[in-house]
Amino acid sequence: MPSGQAVLHKGRWVASRMPAATPEGADEASANRDLWTQASADYTDEHAIRAWAANEITWGIFNIPEDQLDVLGEVAGLDVVELGCGTAYFSAWLARRGARPVGIDLTPAQLATARRCQERFGLSFPLLEADAGHIPLPGRRFDLAISECGASLWCDPARWIPEAARLLRPGGRLVFHTTTVLVAMCQPGMTRYAGQELLRPQREVSRLQSPGHGVEFHPSHSEWIQILRAAGFAIDALHELYAPPDASTHPYYKLATARWAQQWPVEEIWVAHLTPADADIAAETPQ
């Protein structure tokens, strides 16, 4: 099998190894791989067991139940690609509900944890090491593309949104969760909680790089709309997430305290679908 390619083998997508990131994404991919290798050692490897064991689908650092939001709909029987799956607990939640997920991530340490969890919980689905902006899979193979602060936060949307469109079938849905541009503008540093002052210009946080802390992307809402529409998506909903009244501040992810997030949205979920008129164009776009 050629290096960096994926083929269908016994009903599963298998890749030889991760293809090189495209030149425009190489710097961010390298920085974010280093960041999440360290995060795996510090937190996500241990957290993965609890996440995989959870029965309920929840969103974000304050665990907003999917039952309250209903952004996914019925997933049984759907082919799903998770872009930036990390330890793949979200894909595991969907697999238990009858979906056929494929998890994509660029960090070997995260995928190693996901594979250990698959063995522990007896749940198997494909995991591919790849950059979300350049995925070695054929187009028009999925009904749903999701990202929970994976590619949606850590990959340039000008790269991963068109790639999601290419992978989806006509009418396929895109659901992604990310942190808000507001919280990025109010954070005094990548490892300190947001305050009540605007500390960064909005345009500055569109691509936010911090030494040792990776590269985040926080487009404005108008930029998200332009990128989604250019890739052939029609926008169905935008959900701004607040912390519930009884929420506790997250012990690891230092975005905002629960008190802050009860007053302003710290995270958001976008829901869109690929319009049939644009599906063929997206599928034919070269990887």
Q: Give the pLDDT confidence score for residue 105 in this predicted structure.
A: 95
pLDDT at position 200 is 92
pTM above 0.85, yes or no: yes
Query: Is 80 exceeded by the pLDDT of residue 19?
Result: no
210-221: average pLDDT: 84
pLDDT band at 223 (very low <50, low <70, confident <90, very high): very high
Q: Which amino acid is at 215?
A: V
The fraction of the chain above a pLDDT of 70, given in percent, is 85
Average pLDDT over residues 155-168: 97
pLDDT(180) > 80: yes
CATH class of 6-284: alpha beta
- Residue 52 has a pLDDT of 95
Of residues 262 and 23, more confidence is placed in 262
Maximum mean pLDDT: which of 7-21, 149-163, 184-198, 241-255: 149-163
Q: Give the per-residue pLDDT at 159.
A: 96
- Could you please report the per-residue DSSP string of the chain? --TT-EEEETTEEEESSPPPPPGGGHHHHHHHHHHHHHHIIIIIHHHHHHHHH-SS-EETTTTEEHHHH--S---TT-EEEEET-TT-HHHHHHHHTT-EEEEEES-HHHHHHHHHHHHHHT----EEE-BTTB--S-SS-EEEEEEESSHHHHS-HHHHHHHHHHHEEEEEEEEEEEE-HHHHHH-SSTTS---SS--S-GGGGGEEE-TTS-EEE---HHHHHHHHHHTTEEEEEEEEE---TT----SS--S--HHHHTTS--EEEEEEEE-HHHHHHHHHS--
Q: Is the pLDDT of residue 71 over 60?
A: yes
Mean pLDDT of 23-30: 71
Give the angle 231-235-241 at the CA atoms, nearest 5°: 120
Task: Check residue 283 and give its pLDDT.
Answer: 54
> What is the per-residue pLDDT across 114-130, written as a single tens digit (0 to 9) for each?
999 999 999 999 999 99
Q: pLDDT (tens digit, 9 = 90+) per residue, 44-67?
A: 777 889 999 999 999 999 999 999
Give the tokens for residue 160: 């991963």
Q: Which of 142-146, 176-180, 242-246, 280-284 is least confident?
A: 280-284
Give the per-residue pLDDT at 214: 85
Q: Which residue has the tokens 């006509």?
A: 170
Task: Report pLDDT for 35.
Answer: 76
pLDDT by residue (tens digit) across 224-248? 999 999 999 999 999 999 999 998 8
What per-residue confidence (pLDDT) applies to 149? 93
Chain-centroid distance of CA 211 in Å reads 22
Q: Which band of pLDDT confidence, cut at 50, 70 and 90, is reported for residue 38?
A: confident
